[in-house]
Amino acid sequence: MADRIRVAVLFGGRSSEHSISCATAGGVLGALDRERFEVIPVGITRDGAWTLLPDDAAGLTLGAELPVVADNGSRVRLPVSAATREWTVVEADGSERSLGAIDAAFPILHGPFGEDGTVQGALELVGVPYVGNGVLASAVGMHKHFTKSVLTTAGLVVAPWVTLTRSRVAAGLNGWRERVEALGLPVFVKPSRSGSSVGVSKVSSWDALDAALADAFSHDHHVIVEAGLAGREIEFAVLEGRDGAPPRVSLPGEIVVTGREFYDFEAKYLDAPGVQLLCPAPLEPAQLAEGQRLAAAAFDAIGGQGLARVDFFLTAEGWVVNEVNTMPGFTPISMFPRCWTESGLSYPELVAELIELGIAADR
pLDDT band for position 272 (cuts 50, 70, 90): low
Domain 5-130 annotated CATH 3.40.50.20: yes
Q: Smallest Cα–Cα separation from 107: which of 130, 77, 75?
A: 130
Digit-coded pLDDT (tens) for 46-56: 999 999 999 98
Digit-coded pLDDT (tens) for 158-197: 999 999 999 989 888 779 999 999 999 999 999 998 765 6
Of the candidate ranges 20-24, 80-84, 208-212, 259-263, the one whose mean pLDDT is the lowest: 259-263
| Cα–Cα distance list, 238 to 11, 40, 241, 343, 355 (Å) | 22, 26, 9, 11, 15
User: Which residue type, as a one-letter code, is found at position 153?
Assistant: T
Class of domain 161-227: alpha beta
The enclosing H or E element of 291 equals helix 285-301
Q: With a threshold of 0.75, does the pTM exceed it?
A: yes
- 3-state SS, residue 191: strand
DSSP state of 138: H
User: Which residue type, as a one-letter code, is found at position 139?
Assistant: A
CA–CA dist 95, 131 (Å, integer): 30
Digit-coded pLDDT (tens) for 28-49: 999 999 999 999 999 999 999 9
Digit-coded pLDDT (tens) for 273-305: 567 889 999 999 999 999 999 999 999 999 999
The domain segmentation of the chain, as residue ranges, is 5-130, 140-158+229-345, 161-227
Residue range 140-158+229-345, CATH number: 3.30.470.20
Active site residues: 17, 196, 269, 309, 311, 323, 325, 329
